[in-house]
Each structure stands twice: as structure tokens, then as C-alpha cells.
Amino acid sequence: MMQAGTYYIGDLAYVMHPEWEEFCSITIDGHDCLDGEFNLSDGRRFATYGTAYGDGSYQSSTNDTLYVDAGLIGCIRIEDISEDLTEDQIRDLGMIHNFEKAFHTSGGRGEANWDGVIKFGEVSVETDPYVEEEEDEYDYEEDYDYDGPA
């Protein structure tokens, strides 16, 4: 569970440069990237989840576009970002959201039947735009004029 506060949501590689080596040692196990909530050695907490299709841009439920270059979307409290960044710079890298209460996070490839949605409390990010499309019934006869073999 993440505590209440104001958070950066986006690709954590953009805001965790000094901690990146420690971040990777915590979230990479062999060839596997781990999803979930973690603590840095100094106690700062963050959450990270791999996207369904790696790098790209993804839309949040708050209409923010999140750009991804490390194949992940995560969150960390603004006050826990050690880089000297202004709030405007942080907002340019992802989004800022205030959580009034402690919140749960979820998502990632490790979940059974994962639908590509990463959740940070009430904020969700759809990272698999094809899930809904695949679930729609597809009328092949309508799209193809096929009369069989000639």
C-alpha cells in the first residue's frame, strides 16, 4: 500500500537517475522485471509495473499522456524524487496526482488474465489498446467478399 501524498506517475527512469542502479537491483531478477511496490534502502517507497507493449505513449484515466522509454510506468512521491526538478519539469515527464488517502497499486504481466491496465489508486493507465478490440465479435463475412475457391 502506498501512503497518501502527491505523486509523480510515469516512467520512473525519468525521475530516478541517481537511484537507477539500486532501482534495477531491486526490480530485476535475472531476466525478469518484477512488478509491485518496493522500498529503496533509505525507505523511500515506489511502485512500478511493466507495460503490455513496452515503450510508447499511454493514456491515463485523467487524460494525461504518459511517455515510456523503459517499458514501465510507476509512481513515487514528489518529495521522494532526489533530482533537482521543478514541479513543471516533473509534470512534463509524466503526471502529478494527489492521493488524499493511502492507495493500492496493481497491474503487470505477473497477474493472471491481466488486461493491460496499470492502477495507482483511482488512476488507471491502459497499456494494451488491443484487449477491447480482441473481445469484440468480428464479422468476417462483412469485411471480406469471399465466394470460395474459383
Per-residue confidence band for 140, with pLDDT thresholds at 50, 70 and 90: very low
Does the pLDDT at position 44 exceed 60?
yes
Written as nine digits, the cell of 21 is 542502479
The CA distance from 21 to 23, in Å, is 5
Residue predicted with more confidence, 18 or 141 = 18
For residues 93 and 8, the answer to whether their CB atoms sit within 8 Å is yes
DSSP helix/strand/coil, 90: helix
Domain boundaries, the chain: 5-108+116-135
pLDDT at 110: 72
Residue-level pLDDT at 107: 94
Task: Please write down the long-range contacts of 124-132, taking CB distance under 8 Å and 24 or more positions apart.
Answer: 124/60, 124/61, 125/9, 125/58, 125/59, 125/60, 125/61, 125/66, 125/73, 126/58, 126/59, 127/51, 127/52, 127/53, 127/58, 127/73, 128/52, 128/53
72 forms beta bridges with 50
**pLDDT digit string (tens) for 96-138?**
999 999 999 999 877 778 899 999 999 999 999 776 544 445 4
How would residue 148 be classed by pLDDT, with cut points 50, 70 and 90? Answer: low
